[in-house]
Chain A
Amino acid sequence: DGGITQSPKYLFRKEGQNVTLSCEQNLNHDAMYWYRQDPGQGLRLIYYSQIVNDFQKGDIAEGYSVSREKKESFPLTVTSAQKNPTAFYLCASSPRTGGGETQYFGPGTRLLVL
């Protein structure tokens, strides 16, 4: 079964702690994306990657970091610099980058601050 997996489903962060959200896809897609969703709002782009070993900041990258060492993996780290990390995080992928490509989403990770 091809698809996108995200783990964990729920994640709790203590003050000053860095946490990493996992995103894996077996769709052989080149492009991967991270979005943040706050209650009652649409999704906002955090980071995206067009190809292995390359990634770009989105609209709200401050306090986050990513890596793309493998085509199928695009982990997101929420650093202690992110002062309001409580949100629902969604990872997506598309066959290629560029306008018009359909993005397919994973099941999401809900991050809560203790």
Chain B
Amino acid sequence: AQKVTQAQTEISVVEKEDVTLDCVYETRDTTYYLFWYKQPPSGELVFLIRRNSFDEQNEISGRYSWNFQKSTSSFNFTITASQVVDSAVYFCALSEHGSGNTGKLIFGQGTTLQVKP
């Protein structure tokens, strides 16, 4: 069965601190895709990154970085030097590639990040 777990419900940091959001997933497929989305207070989900199961290279985009480890089924997200504008709910999601796949995203429960000035 597919499942995504974000064990951290809420995280609060002070501006300029680094913060890591954890994501652990379960799937039986050998080919799958992992995503991170940001949901600011306005409500719209903003796409951040997509990673396929064959690409374990870590990725950095500005202050954002992602660490994908198949051995531990984790896809963690780190924000370096956090800013108040980073305050949002962050979702990790999984999509499987099996035959007849609908493209459905399986979401974790989300982590609420509060960055205080």
Contacts and interface: CB of A to CB of B under 8 A. Distances in A.
A11 to B, nearest CB: 14
Nearest to B10: A40
Q: Say what secondary structure dominates the interface of chain B.
A: loop
A102 B35 contact: yes
Interface residues of A, number: 32
A108 interface: yes
Interface in A2-35: 31, 33, 35
Give chain B's interface residue range (CB within 8 Å of chain A). 20 to 34
A64 B105 CA distance: 19
Nearest to B34: A100
A23 B35 CA distance: 23
Interface string B80-117: 00000000000101011110011111011110000000
Interface of B: 4, 9, 29, 31-33, 35, 37, 42-47, 50, 52, 91, 93, 95-98, 101-105, 107-110
11 contacts: A41-B109, A42-B4, A42-B109, A50-B102, A58-B104, A98-B101, A99-B32, A99-B97, A101-B103, A105-B47, A106-B44
